[in-house]
Amino acid sequence: MNAKTKKSQGFARSRCPVANTLDIVGDKWSLLVVRDLLHGKQTYKELAESPEGIPTSILADRLKRLEEGGIITSAAYQERPVRYAYTLTEKGKALGEVLLAIVRWGKKYVPGTQTFK
């Protein structure tokens, strides 16, 4: 089901907020991009350099989907050569609460994980 179909039908899988949230960020990479943006990263290059090593094809796709989902916005911060900065919307920044819960869980239940900064 594409975005248009979803919009016309209302909901993809159910009306559950969990299901609908997972339809936007329920994959292995999206929340890592949000994490990086929350940490101040802004450019494609910075995002691509994170330790998890996201493939650039996936990064481009996720940036597109996150923008379609209203989580981020992109804007050229300079012309010649054109360079883009990605920033979180209010909706995107609010995912910080979800990430916080995930970090707390991970640090408690996945031994050896650690946060920096």
Partner DNA sequence: CAAGTAACTTCAATATCGAAAGTTACTACC
Partner DNA sequence: GGTAGTAACTTTCGATATTGAAGTTACTTG
- Among DNA, its own copies, none, residue 68 binds (CB under 5-8 Å by kind): none
- Among DNA, its own copies, none, residue 39 binds (CB under 5-8 Å by kind): none
One of 6, 22, 58, 85 touching its own copies (CB under 8 A): 22
Closest contact distance (angstroms) between CB of 81 and DNA is: 4
Closest contact distance (angstroms) between CB of 108 and DNA is: 25
Helix (H) or strand (E) holding 83: strand 83-88
68 binds DNA (CB under 7 A): no
The length of the chain is 117
One of 7, 45, 83, 104 touching its own copies (CB under 8 A): 104
Sign of CA dihedral 4, 8, 13, 18: positive
Task: Give the chain's end-to-end CA distance (angstroms, integer).
Answer: 40
One of 3, 7, 19, 61 touching DNA (CB under 7 A): 61
Cβ-proximal residues to 48 (8 Å cutoff; 6+ apart), any chain: 54, 56, 59
Beta bridge partners of 88: 72
In this structure, how many other beta carbons lie within 10 angstroms of the beta carbon of residue 1?
Answer: 11
Residues near DNA (CB under 7 A) are 27-29, 43-46, 53-58, 60-61, 63, 74, 80-85
